[in-house]
Structure 1
Amino acid sequence: MSKRTADEEETNQALKGGDRPMEMDVDNEMGEFEDEFEDEFSDDEIIEAGVDGRPDAEREAEEKASGAMDVDNTPGTFIVGRTKLEPGQVLAPDPSAYDMLHSLSTPWPCLSFDIVRDQLGDARKTYPATMYAVAGTQAQSSKASDNSLLVLKFSSLGKMPKAGDESDSDDDEGDDDAEDSDPILESKSLPMTSTTNRIRSYQVPSADPTRAPTTLTASMTESSNVFIHDIMPHLASFDTPGTVVSAQQSKPVCTIRAHKSEGYALDWASPVHHPAGKLLTGDNDGVMYVTTRTDGGGFVTDTRPFVGHTSSVEDIQWSPSEASVFASASSDGTVRVWDVRSKSRRPAISVQVSSTDVNVLSWSRQTTHLLAAGADDGAWGVWDLRQWKPSAASTEPQKSSPIASFNYHKEQITSIEWHPTDDSIVAVAAGDNTVTLWDLAVELDDEESRDTAGVQDVPPQLLFVHYHSNVKEVHWHSQIPGALVATGDEFSIFKTISV
């Protein structure tokens, strides 16, 4: 990913799936229609025809002959991420499809970010919205010293105006839902000397319910080191005027030097299971380590590595229900399940889920026997862990069929995440510049099958397509139902009317 240019920024707009691109060369010669034969036909003499007054078969034959049948042989269907834009065409969002939609830029693009839980309450539905996040930058290689860890506050995130809002009276000026001010991005910068490949935040529960929890970040970098920061002072400075953050407070509280190569796999354990803090890290050598925060606030890394993958560890995640269990995804095409109590440091279960790199995985928080994973070939699927059997460390990875799989994307899957409260909704980001939302509960009946038969390779479970240039990660906001944040060339914050 390189620094975005001004030209690129002009085209970074979101689009709902099925929308048409702007600036198309379309002749519109239809003027006012005058029926010179008005009232000359009786009801039983009406001839059923297509949209232009001709029989469907005749019109479709002409379209096919003229090349008007575009993607998947479907007339007039534009599919984001699948249909190529013609020169001069620009994608534009359909405002009516979004409840909220904002784009905000940082000095350098960010490969990874994480949403920070705040003290503003759960299940928030009012506008304007406020969010907090952390991110790590990817500066140009010649300017590695320009990299930083960013602590972010997004505010004044207004609701999308609906049709007729412009004509509303001034009586609505005090209504939060009518807020139309520009979004605000505030940031605090902590110096880093290399690109952040993956960043995750963790909050240490406070014994005093009136006090904010300690917020930590772990950043896995291109340098192979993992840095842990305490960003509490930086978060507090957003909302406490006059707060000054010292240079010492911006330094790491711990640097993990166990890895010999850079990596992308990083995850904090649930505070329910490990309140003090327990961190998993994995690198491109296929090696994983556990680092534990002590009661005194220090960190200790167990130098005994977990080994078993034959290639790089791309993603890692703790089980949401088992305190000692975690899963890892690798470019060797496998997902493996581990138990930190194992003296052998070998996987308990190894499953071959792809013939290509498995880039990302997500463990359902609601139905904890479901695990989703996405691969380099654009395919992603959901597996039922109850079908996976323990295997000896010396045996080849077992085969297991997913209970659901999708090949809609034609580029690598870069991020995947279950909805925090709905075990049928999944968000997926891919290298085709799209974030897709999926509803796994959807099933086609015979009538729906006929209605959708014309659009090939578009699964009925595909709920929404959001265009986002160079998208790398997407996360749901657990305290604002249905809201998502994605990073790529810029940050995109959106909420669709369909979720």
Structure 2
Amino acid sequence: MSKRAVEEDYETSRKNGPSANHSSEDAVDADMGEFEDAWDDEVESEEEEYMEADGADEEEHGQEDIIPEEQQEVWLPGGEIKENENLVVDQSAYEMLHNIQVRWPFLSIDVIPDEFGEERRSWPHRMYLVGGSQAEKTKDNEITVMKLSQLYKTQHDDDDSDASDDSDIEEDPLLEFRSLPVEGSCNRVCAAKPSTNESLIASFHETGKVHIWNVAPQLRSMEQVGMLIPPGANDPVYTVNNHSTEGYALDWSPFESMLLSGDNKGEIYLTKRDASGHWVTDNKPFQGHASSVEDIQWSPTERTVFASCSSDGTFRIWDIRNKNHTPALTVNAHPGVDINVLSWNTKVPYLLATGADDGMWCVWDLRQLKQSTSAATPVASFKWHKAPITSIEWHPNEESVIAVAGADDQVSMWDLSVELDVEEQQVRTSEGMGALPPQLMFVHMGQQHIKELHWHRQIPGVVISTAQSGINVYKSISF
């Protein structure tokens, strides 16, 4: 099943509403504030409070559904859920857990780099996000820039910290947003590294158009009370019209203002600025994939190199200096299976991870790979997820840590450096965890039809994931 097929299932589910028999829907079950009128983006800053996810809404489920602590059991993914049993979130497993209920689901989100500092560890947190909507009517779609603030640490019953005892602390998170109207549902949105007076966003739509936006005015308006957005600032600064079909692959260069976009026809286009500062898209695409380009990413260390993956079961390495626009390396990574996503390790740049339609995700050592039509061998592979992998991303600061999302409504977090000796494995088995991979550190559930996840590069351990049921912002105690 290709990424497009996954989106079609997602669209059907969105229109019909969440499945009534979805086993994990109570894991993050709280009434959240919705976005206000999206067209009020040129007036004074709008703020909206939303509740912290609590796992069991007493008003909706009633007191009879609250299970006494002595009757609660730890449930392992894949385990049986008996009649009259519900999954509830274990708040003690999170340092932070918040839920954003949006008006239209976001198939894609990204974290906008900010100037609030690196390695932020003090509470509360704040961040910028951007999402692209999947509205029922094409004219109702929008690119939404969000500011989340007052993201406090989750308060546990046994928390005796100073913060939990201070009744004067405002613990309700705040959401501010600005919306940019756009024609067509958004398949992918991607934020560039900010530069002076610019904060660039790219979005790929079902219309086949790729828009580039400068959202610096929107960001400034959320920082300066009463500041109005200038006329025309909600319009794209450039549009790529070269694609003859829609696509899902999009990535900004980490080094300069260069954008790659790949479509369902298997074509990849490069957009960059010319000597005069104007945006220009190459007329000749990069070609080589036999089917749709599902994901794309620039090398974290080589300015001219990028990787792409496809529903043809391969991932390919390219160099934009090749005037023939053909791949330098083709790896038959998942023969006969769509590769939906890939991620390049920023700390160990010869490691690349891929996620496929059969639920398998693999890690590849690029130093060991050669041009071949036969199946390649990964250095690690895992078959934990029971449905297509929809997102994968290495931790920005921990070289062995990776997060993976699947259409089975799980976000799994792994530490590949973990190895158990025989005695440790025997202990795990005796505790009923023998079937769990020792590298599996944490599983986040409660969202329906998870589509994309990202680590926040400036707030260690924080993950943002988007799904049909909304956006979750969380930090596990494991990271």
TM range (shorter): 0.7 to 0.9
Equivalent residues in 2 for 1:97-176, closer than 5 Å: 97-140=93-136, 143-165=137-159, 172-173=166-167
Deviates more, 1:297-306 or 1:371-380: 297-306
RMSD: 2.9
Within the alignment, does 1:347 sit opposite 2:344 as a pair? no
Give the equivalent residue in structure 1 for 2:25.
11
Partner of 1:333: 313
Structure 1 residue 469 corresponds to structure 2 residue 448: yes
In the comparison of the two structures, how many residue pairs are matched? 428
Who wins on radius of gyration, i.e. which is larger? 1
TM-score (norm 2): 0.83
Q: Where does structure 1 lack aligned partners over 5 or more consecutive residues?
A: 31-75, 207-212
* Pair 1:376 & 2:361 matched: no
Superposed counterparts of 1:389-408, under 5 Å: 389=370, 391=371, 397-408=373-384
Task: Identify if the C-alpha distance between structure 1 residues 296 and 203 changes in structure 2 by more than 3 Å, giving closer, same or farther.
Answer: farther
Question: In the aligned structure 2, how far is the partner of 1:229 from the partner of 1:29?
Answer: 53
Residues 353-432 of structure 1 mapped to structure 2, 5 A cutoff: 353-355=333-335, 356-389=337-370, 391=371, 397-432=373-408
Check the 8 A contact 1:12/1:469 in 2, yes or no: no
The alpha-carbon distance between structure 1 residues 346 and 171, as it changes in their structure 2 partners (threshold 3 A), is closer
Letter in 2 for 1:145: K
Q: What secondary structure, in the 3-state scheme, does the structure 1 residue paired with 2:98 have?
A: strand
Q: Is the 8 A contact 1:218 1:228 kept in 2?
A: yes
Deviations 1:10-45 (A, max 9, x none): 935349xxx9xx989999999xxxxxxxxxxxxxxx
Give the 5 Å matches for 1:45-124: 78-80=75-77, 82-83=78-79, 85-86=81-82, 88-124=84-120
8 Å Cα contact 2:155/2:164 also seen in 1: no
Question: Which of 416, 419, 426 is matched with 1:443 structurally?
Answer: 419
The answer on whether the counterparts of 2:141 and 2:183 sit within 8 Å (CA) in structure 1 is: yes
What SS is found at the alignment partner of 2:424? Answer: helix
The whole-number CA distance in structure 2 between the counterparts of 1:167 and 1:125 is 16
Cα distance between partner residues in 2 of 1:313 and 1:147: 24
Match of 2:238 among 249, 254, 260: 254
The change in CA–CA distance for 1:222 and 1:457 in structure 2 (over 3 A counts) is: farther
**Gap change, CA 1:170 and 1:371, over 3 Å in 2:** closer
Question: In the superposition, relative to structure 1, how do residues 14 and 386 fare at CA in structure 2: closer, same or farther (>3 Å)?
Answer: farther
Residue 264 (str. 1) matches residue 248 (str. 2) = yes
> Structure 2, unaligned stretches of length 5 or more?
1-9, 30-54, 56-60
CA contact (8 A) 1:327 1:336 kept: yes
1:27–1:426 Cα change, 3 Å: closer
| 8 Å CA contact retained: 2:317, 2:327 | yes
Alignment deviations for residues 457-498 of structure 1 (CA, whole Å, 9 cap, x no partner)? 421100000002211111001111111111012110000111
Q: CA deviation at 1:279?
A: 0.4
- Give the SS at the match of 2:417: coil
User: Secondary structure at 1:102's aligned position in 2?
Assistant: strand
Q: 1:387, 1:400 within 8 Å by CA — same for their partners in 2?
A: no
Q: 1:300 to 1:25 in 2, by over 3 A?
A: closer
* Partner deviation per Cα, 1:213-246 (whole Å, 9 max, x = no partner): 5101110111111011110100111011111124
Q: Equivalents in 2 of 1:89, 1:382: separation in Å?
A: 37
Tell me, in whole angstroms, the C-alpha distance in 2 between the residues paired with 1:24 and 1:164.
22
Shift of 1:127: 1.3
1:28–1:92 CA distance, 2 compared to 1 (3 A): closer
Q: 1:3 to 1:132 in 2, by over 3 A?
A: farther
CA offset at residue 170 of structure 1?
A: 8.9
Q: Deviations over 1:369-403 (max 9, x none)?
A: 000000000000100000012x3xxxx53432111
1:320 match: secondary structure: coil
Contact 1:14/1:91 (<8 A) preserved: no
2:456 maps to 1:459: no
- Deviation readout 1:100-139 (Å, 9 max, x if unpaired): 1100111111000110111111111111110101110111
Q: What secondary structure sits across from 2:233 in the alignment?
A: helix
Tell me if structure 1 keeps the 8 A contact 2:334–2:375. no
Task: Name the SS of the counterpart of 2:285 in structure 1.
Answer: strand
1:27 & 1:149 partners in 2: Cα distance?
44
Structure-1 residue corresponding to 2:193: 203
Identity %: 44
Deviations 1:259-290 (A, max 9, x none): 0111000000112xx2xx00000000111110
Instruction: Note if 1:309 corresponds to 2:294.
Output: no
Question: Displacement of 1:205 after TM fit?
Answer: 2.7
Q: CA deviation at 1:343?
A: 1.9
